[in-house]
Structure 1
Amino acid sequence: MMVPRSSRVTLTARRIYTVLLHVSQTRMLAMDSMPLADFMFEAPLIAILRTTGSDGTDRTAAKRYLSEMRSLEVDWESTAPGDGVKWRGFSMLSEVALEVRRGETWVSWSFPPSIMSALRDPQRWARIDLDVLTRLSTYAAIALYEICVRYRDNPGGVTSRKPVGWWTDALSNMPGGDRREWRKFKNERVKEAVEEINRETDLEIELIEHRQARVVIDVQFAVRKRSRHALAQTHDEPVDASLRLRGKTLGIREEKIEILIGEYGEDRVRGKLDLLERRAANDRLRDIENAYSYLRSLLRDDGAPERGDAPVRVAATPTPTPTTTPASEAARSREEGGAGDLIRAMKREVEQLEPAQLQVWVERALQELAAKGLLTAVIRRRASQGDVLHGLLGSVVVHAYATATHGPDWNSPA
């Protein structure tokens, strides 16, 4: 729970801050360890603004919001049962900077150590779905959703039970919270927030009041996760805003991300973005020169598109008949001029190698991938498990073997 202490927080500023937290946690999850104290997260300013629902043109206002976050002091309190630890007297952002790169404004920022630790701990911080930001229209609704989303998979199905003053602090954007009596605050802020969350998000929540005599002293919320089908009945599913933002932060234009989503589906693009982010966070490997090409190669390597008009590609590896030797089959494939047949023929030759012979080509392929900056943790794990003839690693193994055995023109038609 975040409670402003020095000044009021606007709805737009809260949205921007939520996006900064989301970007930062995504980056941190891709890192092997906690970043150093002087580490700065970064993203294109226009991508941050668009993700919050802005058209991306109000850069002057965005700079003002970022400046306010740098000076705004907050209290940060865990919502976990029995965890009453508060962190007081720090700013929403430790440092923020804007710079122009190739004509585009980028924002860099850092957090106080307490927030960094919370982001690193998935039990303490749960990411909000960024497309929800554009659907919720009040500060109270966003703040309440951020609290309740932590409990969507909780077996108990309820949030922590807290005093009414705790909730008025948590759902108010004013310093010191809203000190009106609970009945008025509930009617003017909470009811509207509950209705909007139930209507616009993947959660269904219900207010639970605990009374002593006739006075409400404690409050909690029942939380139930709605199915994606039920949500789709009330909303056309948009392109996941977080995917666009993550791609943009890596240097991939939004329209290209949307093309890949249309071709391969959101789930597959999301998974490959995870790999790309982990690769980009690995300081021991060379920088990726073209993030879009790298991402597209990961998707192509993983199999056929899930949607679109592209034909389904089947990586068939039929067993050679006893009357056909690998060399003669490769020659026949070359004569017929089929590139796909040539590759399959080479793969069959590699499959028939002795394990020690195959390992020679695997080592060579790993060296080649490392030299190109493409040796990911996933590829290394596959190699250690003996899964060396699938995906990008398998392609490089086959090409290395074929080039050395049949010459550099092995895949050229006769």
Structure 2
Amino acid sequence: MTLPESTPPAPARGGAVDSVEFRKPHEMIVMVPRSARVTLTARRIYTVLLQVAQTRMASMTAMPLADFLFEAPLIAILRTTGSDGTDRTAAKRYLSEMRSLEVDWESTAPGDGVKWRGFSMLSEVALEVRRGETWVSWSFPPSIMSALRDPARWARIDLDTLAKLSTYASVALYEICARYRDNPGGVTSRKPLGWWTDALSNMPGGDRREWRKFKSERIKDAVEEINRETDLEIELIEHRQARVVTEVQFAVRKRSKVVSRMDAKQPVDANLVLRGETLGIREIKLDALVKEFGEAMVRDKLDALERRAGNNTLRSIDNAYSYLRSLLRHDGSPTAVEGTAAIAPTKEPDRPTVPEPLALVKDDGAGDRIRAVKRELEMLLPTQRQVWVDRALQELAAKGMLTAVVSRRASQGDVLHGMLGSVVVQAYALATYGPGWNTPDEPVAII
């Protein structure tokens, strides 16, 4: 049976979002442990690492090198899994073990079999303390990196939904069924019993008990929990030869998303904490703002703060946290908060040769214009783009905002994300299109 592509539109930046979404490649849906047991907490943490990496690569102009290290605060990763942070000691152990843990990745499609065999979950992982907070740095095998960055087919996995599921079997079964959320046939692939016990078990070699015991102790509770806590309604379908069950599949139906229980912990996006850190705002302070104003509003005002930090016609921001808090409390624009007069920009570097625009369009959204300029920057040769990166780094250094995190990302080629990306875009667009480049009435070149 041919499955439809699952290509939902990305949520608008700055608007309300229902969940932290992960586009999980189909070839990574089924993870079968080979060298050691994988706990529920470890699988949740690993899923967040994959999601953070995918989000970061989406903002990069090229595939990062094999030794590229992603990074995020440990507490932010745990909170994205739904933890309150009390699992930090166990999480450190799990992360350290992931480098040696080997798994097989299997496709859920009929006849596809094992996609990758004996892969380590992580190629490298490191833990370090920065200003009293534990940070995690990690890398993946190249095949996983390629699949994450540009998945041809994927399933939408909601991380807040995973946080509600209490067993390994529930999480594994939900991810399999999520792939078939939009399948017109309404059923998963039909697989032998051994395939399902391997896919839903966290132990090497799977669970080899007879099917009726595995169904009673693992599958029954998983089905009930998925039907209760998620936007899917699933049902076990058994296929028999004579009176013996030989193959199994699940019926999958979408339903209205359930309303979370009032006492349920809501996960936050680890990337949000990372963006705050880039601006010099510590996780503990950002967390307080999220609790007071809500994650969607904080994300929206972080967008405004990044754009403001990248505007070299305005006075530099002395305290990014205070500025963000003022934006949130007044629910206003940067100009409304400070009323800062523009100052003359410094001399621009010579403009490098850029590709000829394919079209000129008018739009009414600043976000569309910024994305258009980013696409144009992506088309530049690396040496041409580096001119504007160097200029942005100089501006941030002059403002006292060139942090170690920003410098490290610049050296790794992650130059169009966060505050650094805002400064690069602003510098290039101002020199290329003039002061009115972000004005609604002006056309924007889109490459």
TM range (shorter): 0.5 to 0.7
Q: Match for 1:31 among 44, 60, 64?
A: 60
Whole-angstrom CA distance in 2 between matches of 1:3 and 1:290: 50
Structure 1 residues not aligned, in runs of 5+:
281-287, 316-338, 344-361, 395-414
Q: Does 1:108 align with 2:137?
A: yes
Q: Does 1:161 align with 2:190?
A: yes
User: Cα gap change, 1:13/1:79 in structure 2, threshold over 3 Å: closer, same or farther?
Assistant: same
Whole-angstrom CA distance in 2 between matches of 1:66 and 1:115: 17
Whole-angstrom CA distance in 1 between matches of 2:222 and 2:266: 23
1:235 maps to: 261
- Kindly indicate whether the alpha-carbon contact (under 8 Å) linking 2:125 and 2:136 is maintained by their aligned counterparts in 1: yes
SS of residue matched to 1:66: helix
User: Cα gap change, 1:8/1:295 in structure 2, threshold over 3 Å: closer, same or farther?
Assistant: farther
2:283 maps to: 253
CA offsets per residue over residues 179-238 of structure 1, 9 Å max, x none? 12222211110110010111112222111222222222222222223323xx12x52497
Superposition CA RMSD, Å: 4.4
Pairs within 5 Å for 1:334-353: none
Whole-angstrom CA distance in 2 between matches of 1:256 and 1:2: 34
Structure 2 residues not aligned, in runs of 5+:
1-29, 310-315, 342-368, 374-387, 397-419
1:182 maps to: 211
Whole-angstrom CA distance in 1 between matches of 2:322 and 2:64: 25
User: Cα gap change, 1:276/1:193 in structure 2, threshold over 3 Å: closer, same or farther?
Assistant: farther
- Kindly indicate whether the alpha-carbon contact (under 8 Å) linking 1:203 and 1:226 is maintained by their aligned counterparts in 2: yes
Aligned length: 324
- Kindly indicate whether the alpha-carbon contact (under 8 Å) linking 2:35 and 2:101 is maintained by their aligned counterparts in 1: yes
CA offsets per residue over residues 342-386 of structure 1, 9 Å max, x none? x9xxxxxxxxxxxxxxxxxx9xxx99x9667535769989998x9
User: Cα gap change, 1:71/1:135 in structure 2, threshold over 3 Å: closer, same or farther?
Assistant: same
SS of residue matched to 1:176: coil
Whole-angstrom CA distance in 1 between matches of 2:84 and 2:245: 43
CA offsets per residue over residues 292-338 of structure 1, 9 Å max, x none? 669959x97xxxx9xxx96799x9xxxxxxxxxxxxxxxxxxxxxxx
Using the TM superposition, name which of 104-113 and 53-62 deviates more: 53-62
Whole-angstrom CA distance in 1 between matches of 2:306 and 2:241: 52
Q: How far apart are residue 162 of structure 1 and its match?
A: 1.7
Pairs within 5 Å for 1:177-216: 177-216=206-245
User: Cα gap change, 1:60/1:273 in structure 2, threshold over 3 Å: closer, same or farther?
Assistant: same
- What letter is aligned with 1:188? E
Whole-angstrom CA distance in 2 between matches of 1:268 and 1:153: 31
CA offsets per residue over residues 246-284 of structure 1, 9 Å max, x none? 211221636636746875x75676678799999x9xxxx
Q: How far apart are residue 101 of structure 1 and its match?
A: 1.0
- Kindly indicate whether the alpha-carbon contact (under 8 Å) linking 1:247 and 1:254 is maintained by their aligned counterparts in 2: no
Whole-angstrom CA distance in 2 between matches of 1:142 and 1:190: 11
TM-score, length basis structure 2: 0.60
Q: How far apart are residue 54 of structure 1 and its match?
A: 3.3
Q: Does 1:389 align with 2:439?
A: yes
User: Cα gap change, 1:103/1:268 in structure 2, threshold over 3 Å: closer, same or farther?
Assistant: closer
Q: Does 1:72 align with 2:105?
A: no
- Kindly indicate whether the alpha-carbon contact (under 8 Å) linking 1:76 and 1:88 is maintained by their aligned counterparts in 2: yes
Whole-angstrom CA distance in 2 between matches of 1:139 and 1:83: 24
**Which is richer in helix?**
1
Whole-angstrom CA distance in 1 between matches of 2:245 and 2:234: 19
1:321 maps to: none
- Percent identical: 68
User: Cα gap change, 1:104/1:34 in structure 2, threshold over 3 Å: closer, same or farther?
Assistant: same
SS of residue matched to 1:107: strand
Larger radius of gyration: 1
Question: RCO higher in 1 or 2 (8 Å CA, sep ≥ 6)?
Answer: 2
2:21 maps to: none
User: Cα gap change, 1:104/1:189 in structure 2, threshold over 3 Å: closer, same or farther?
Assistant: same
